[in-house]
Amino acid sequence: MGIPFKYLGLEVGGNPRKKKFWEPVLNKLKARLNVWKGRFLSMAGKICLIKFVLTSVPLYYLSLFRAPVMVCRSITRIQMRFLWGWGKEKETISWVSWKMLCKSREEGGLGLRDVHNFNLALLAKWRWRLLAEEKGRWKDLLASKYGSSFNGLHSPVVERLVQRLWGGQRR
């Protein structure tokens, strides 16, 4: 068996920094949307489908790999196009900015997830588990790969998340 290969639908040994690695996720999103007839759905129906289906399709990949900005933009573009005009030949106007739609309902948004921030949060959860759990097979694997002094206290992904969420101040 050569590298890369697929295991549980995930490409093992591939380079997650390349767009080609993420093409199966983007193709799954597009295939899922082709089944739905977006022009026959109400705005509330489209929002529900984005929140509960289109966000969960790339969840497995996003929880294990840091997605490049280009891939996050592609996923967001697919979601935006579905919301504002899926099934129409011409490009449609976005009446509200995507950042506004991603705000919580209390802040006046619709509570949609920003793919990039969601990806960072999922990766930070692994970081938290690494620090919080004392034992685990995956923790032993990381310690054997990076040495027994591995404690995972410094990670660029978590540092960027802390910077983005709390303005650089740890709480």
Say how many residues make up the chain. Answer: 171
Give φ, ψ of 10 to 5 degrees.
Answer: -110, 135
Asked whether the beta carbons of 126 and 93 are under 8 A apart, the reply is: no
Question: What is the tens place of the pLDDT at every residue in 64-90?
Answer: 889 999 999 999 999 988 888 766 666
Q: Are residues 90 and 156 in the same domain?
A: no
Asked whether residue 143 falls in the same domain as residue 93, the answer is no
Average pLDDT for the chain: 79
Q: Give the residue from 92, 114, 136 where a domain finishes.
A: 114
Give residue 162's pLDDT band: very low, low, confident or very high (50, 70, 90): low
pLDDT at 166 over 80: no
Distance between alpha carbon 4 and the CA centroid of its chain, in Å? 22
In terms of domains, do 22 and 79 share one?
yes
Task: Give me the number of domains the chain comprises.
Answer: 2
pTM of the model: 0.75
Same domain? For 29 and 103 the reply is yes
Show the domain range for 9. 5-114
3-state helix, strand, coil split of the chain in percent (to 5) is: 60, 5, 35
